[in-house]
Chain A
């Protein structure tokens, strides 16, 4: 093609040079040649396009073949690293009116490595999927979660066995690194020891409705606070939940949940093993979560509102060895709640505020002046945070909190935290 073109150009040039007398004729000839070249160029474009189309049309079979080697079946591996610098004005605040588990206390002072999580997950075969999450800290490695799960059971049914974070309330079944704040709210810390995970089996059923509705339950070993935290004394527990959720228009989503955790610890220790409880401990929770994308694109702006209400009914005996109360019969109820809002105002920046409160019960005479006596005080915590998310895999957060754990006690809390995920792509849960 290029040769023909060059040839024509050369001939035209030669003709125009050698025969000036024919200049007018040549000019018109040049015009027609130019027109012809333009036509040819057009034809080339058409042919090129047709060729590409033919090549595409021929490939109706899958083109991306997976390579087969042993590595091809490696499970998804992910590691979450997080660490913080924190400063608390009150070194060892005990939340009045409750026996608090070890994880429910506020974190360590100064620069510190938080629990790092190592997760491995994969489909086992066509019927099962599995996940192991190990938590690594200075105390050693512990199994955070290790479960197998059914895959594709008919009728919206699901089955889970092993150790897993229980779906009691909203926050509990989510890993801490996905939280919107650097610490868990007061009621999660006190009633669930930050997070309740236990060994057992669970069933779930998503109802065949247009609106999302799911119910489920688990039978559990009863080996984690609040179901009991003494190795030999596991006494069984069970949990049940229902969730319902949907969309409001195009840009708003909501999720509402009700759940319960029914435990009867044969022994549960709190406040560094000084507060002991034996008896029935039944927890009821209601949770709500709402997300609004004002621009229709969650990347730009997003408002998240969330709240949970806790009600714990206990019937048994409490003993505070620190105050030498002896075992005192206790039958009462405590409540707690939190509400939080987080707003993404720029694609990488968010701000948030959270208020949480606990309402302890009046104590019987035998427990007056013990750790369980809150002196009519309702512990509360208010927190403000801002975080910067460089990519889906990294986040840095600054949080300030003010806590009033007991009558006359104040605790100012500053936490600077990083959370980084490497390996498999993190899940975007609701």
Chain B
């Protein structure tokens, strides 16, 4: 028993408290971490719980996340069931009252977006469907602005002393973003109507924005990997619709896409999906720049 006490004491002294006065933001996904930094700048400290190469649905409540959650006074996540596997564990084990569900410090981006594909009925035989609707809202740049605006309001409420700074940062971001959107809109006009195959229903917001036509998913059902028989259906549908592009996120399995490419010559386009998803996408702007460049390259 003495040994144990000794170890406990050792732990306390080896890792001195790092409590800072500033706002600690726990961002579940890298896109929200980037947005929080745009708005909070030096007044906030942001921890991204996942990286761009990780599927935000399949994350473990690992020790470093428990430590980060314990310090958080703002939680900035997508919500809509995307983090259903790990956020409840972190919330119960490590989160303070300030960030619990319904608290001011608990900000769910999907609350501010009218979600697509809300299923009429849900059944697990349909795969890992989200009853709340499709949570991958960050692939449409218009949603980024809506969420940014709502988050700024929330942040100003939490940290009134810096409210004007947050508002100014938002205004700056918005004006840059609007210029970018014009630029992206010009490319989008050329992409309109392009038939595409996706791995998982993760591009629905992007497709709606750009007017891309999703023909079929390589996955059999959400969360169920491709099977040979399903791939035959994919091939038939893709040929029928004259699919030009197979869209993949950094964490989608490439095998099935490679097979389809070999069968019918469509191009595989790897898109960043979020900030840091592929090299050179360290900011939100770069992420969309690369997305549109890749799609433009894929369709030409």
Contact = CB atoms under 8 A, between A and B. Distances in A.
A208 B19 contact: yes
B97 interface: yes
Given A210-B67, A212-B66, A250-B51, A60 B150 contact: yes
B88 interface: yes
A213 interface: yes
B208 to A, nearest CB: 9
B89 A429 contact: yes
Interface in B151-169: 153
Interface in B194-229: 209, 223-225
A250 B276 CA distance: 13
Contact of B8 (A215, A254, A291): A215
Contacts of A129: 92
Contact of B146 (A57, A154, A213, A282): A57
A152 B110 contact: no
A422 interface: yes
A297 B254 CA distance: 13
Contact of A392 (B15, B95, B111, B128): B128
Contact of A300 (B8, B95, B188, B253): B253
A326 interface: no
A212 B95 contact: no
A335 interface: no
Nearest to A131: B92
Interface in A215-272: 215, 240, 242-247, 250, 253-255, 258-260, 262
B126 to A, nearest CB: 11
Nearest to B130: A425
B60 A207 contact: no
Contacts of A240: 1, 4
Interface residues of A, number: 71
Given A152-B97, A425-B85, A253 B64 contact: yes
A151 interface: yes
A116 to B, nearest CB: 17
A21 B127 CA distance: 68
B94 interface: yes
A422 B100 CA distance: 26
Nearest to A63: B114
Main secondary structure of the interface of A (DSSP, over half): mixed
Given A45-B189, A151-B92, A297 B251 contact: yes
A430 B63 contact: yes
Contacts of A56: 142-143, 145-146
Contact of B59 (A254, A422, A428): A428
A49 interface: yes
B15 A428 contact: no
A254 B251 CA distance: 23
Contacts of B150: 60-62
Contacts of B94: 156, 206
Interface residues of B, number: 76
A392 B225 contact: no
A425 B84 contact: yes
B179 interface: no
B282 interface: no
B60 A347 contact: no
B15 A209 contact: yes
A126 interface: yes
B171 to A, nearest CB: 14
A276 B224 CA distance: 51
Nearest to B88: A427
Contacts of A126: 97, 100, 102
B173 interface: no
A110 interface: no
Nearest to B254: A300
Contact of B132 (A61, A64, A247, A427): A64
Interface of A: 42, 45-46, 49, 52-53, 56-57, 59-64, 123, 126, 129, 149, 151-154, 156, 158, 204, 206-215, 240, 242-247, 250, 253-255, 258-260, 262, 282, 284, 291, 296-300, 347-348, 390-393, 422, 425-430
Given A53-B181, A56-B143, A253-B64, 5 more contacts: A49-B188, A61-B112, A208-B19, A244-B11, A245-B64
